[in-house]
Amino acid sequence: MQVENLNVETLRWRDGRLELIDQRRLPLEFEYVACETAEQTAAAIRGMVVRGAPAIGCTAAYGAAVEAQRHAAASRQHFDAALEGAFEVLAASRPTAVNLFWAIKRMRDCHVRMRDGTVPAEAAALLDLARQMHSDDVEINRAMGRHGAALIADGARIMTHCNAGALATAGHGTALGVIRSARDAGKHVSVIANETRPYLQGARLTAWEMVQEKIPVTLATDNMAGHLMQLGRVDVVVVGADRIAANGDTANKIGTYTVAVLARRHGIPFYVAAPLSTIDLAIADGSGIPIEQRDASEVTGFRGMRWAPEGVLVVNPAFDVTPAELITGLITEKGVIERPDAAKIVALFGR
């Protein structure tokens, strides 16, 4: 389905409530769903209405804001309890993308600063902060895009995995933001979108975004990556991230690690594009990153169709960890660091 306005808003605040593109239905249908409570917002994150680390962070911020608005006329005690409940339910929605916890912490810090004042003033401040995080994310992605685009040669054939596009952020995207910025800088780029089993973010979302923007995109199943690299059909890999440990080990969509190993085997640069909010300095290395395990039904079939026999055992980790040693460079809003390590990552925060 072609959408008239290419500047699709992954999430938006409208008429006092949060609206999200229902990414479960793309690319066949394009529609928004509304969230009027923190509970509904958490359910939307858990149920993959919205996904992608930065988009999850912004959504959680609005999820707390929506709850604050609901209780803006309540007593201070009632308001505080409702907000605490909101933080808890949102934090329990998905475990891997650290942007979720980063956003909740910022909202909670705002609450702590404002709780000696009036409830309506605090509710307004929380909504302002959520809006600020939303617009900041777009700016951050554009900055990342500018830095990353310099690494992309004219004519580059870029492989990406999962969807790290406008749909995974407040807009522009991280990995796809680099690709968009390279195109905007006049480079003739093309994309190989890995389909991204089992949830098909590559086939459904990345392919859709690229088709909307008329950036040439070729869909490949995940198990074609090595073959395409061996044939010399991939110049560079750019992916996003859900959580980056202090040493640069990077959790991203399941299958990313395989692509990184293959890229190293074939001498192809492998870049991770992610904002500083995706870096978790509290986790020393990738072994400490919590990996979400999702429902078996995502592997045994799709949208009501089952292809695996009843009784089969299933594994469904949603993410894997690519060791820092396989990463050519980390593209952030503060610039690019080559061969990321703990010292370079810590220095990024001082830039």
Query: Which residues sit opposite 194 in a β-bridge?
Result: 220
Q: Is residue 41 classed exposed, middle or buried when 0-12, 13-18 and 19+ CB atoms within 10 A define those classes?
A: buried
Residue nearer to ligand MRU on the CB measure, 11 or 126: 11
Residue nearer to ligand MRU on the CB measure, 33 or 74: 33
Within 10 Å of residue 196's Cβ, how many Cβ atoms? 23
Cα gap 146→161, rounded to integer Å = 20
Within 10 Å of residue 104's Cβ, how many Cβ atoms? 20
For the bound state, the minimum distance from the C-beta of residue 273 to ligand MRU, rounded and expressed in Å, comes to 8
Taking CB under 6 A as the rule, does residue 240 contact ligand MRU?
Answer: yes
For the bound state, the minimum distance from the C-beta of residue 318 to ligand MRU, rounded and expressed in Å, comes to 5
For the segment 306-325, give every residue that binds ligand MRU (CB under 6 A): 318
Cα gap 160→36, rounded to integer Å = 34
Residues in the chain: 351
Contact 45, 100 (CB under 8 A): yes
CA geometry: angle at 42 spanning 36 and 43, to 5°? 90
Give the x-and-dash track for 95-134 against ligand MRU (CB under 6 A): --x-------------------------------------
> Read out DSSP for 197-209?
TTTTHIIIIIHHH
Looking at 11, 20, 42, 53, which residue binds ligand MRU (CB under 6 A)? 53
For the bound state, the minimum distance from the C-beta of residue 130 to ligand MRU, rounded and expressed in Å, comes to 19
Judge whether 242 counts as a catalytic residue: yes
Match 């003739």 to its residue by tokens: 188
Point out which span in 50-58, 229-237, 279-287, 343-351 binds ligand MRU (CB under 6 A). 50-58
- Catalytic member of 222, 242, 280, 320: 242
Show the tokens assigned to 227.
């073959």
Looking at 143, 162, 283, 331, which residue binds ligand MRU (CB under 6 A)? 162
Residue nearer to ligand MRU on the CB measure, 162 or 337: 162
Taking CB under 6 A as the rule, does residue 194 contact ligand MRU?
Answer: no
Within 10 Å of residue 70's Cβ, how many Cβ atoms? 18
Looking at 67, 122, 209, 242, which residue binds ligand MRU (CB under 6 A)? 242
For the bound state, the minimum distance from the C-beta of residue 199 to ligand MRU, rounded and expressed in Å, comes to 6
Taking CB under 6 A as the rule, does residue 252 contact ligand MRU?
Answer: yes
Point out which span in 113-121, 146-154, 163-171, 340-348 binds ligand MRU (CB under 6 A). 163-171
Show the tokens assigned to 141.
């992605």
Of the candidates 139, 140, 177, 346, the one whose C-alpha atom is nearest the C-alpha of residue 271 is: 177
Residue 111, H or E segment: helix 98-114
Given the rule CB under 6 A, which residues bind ligand MRU?
A: 51-54, 97, 162, 164, 168-169, 174, 201, 240-242, 252-253, 318
**Residues identified as active-site:** 242
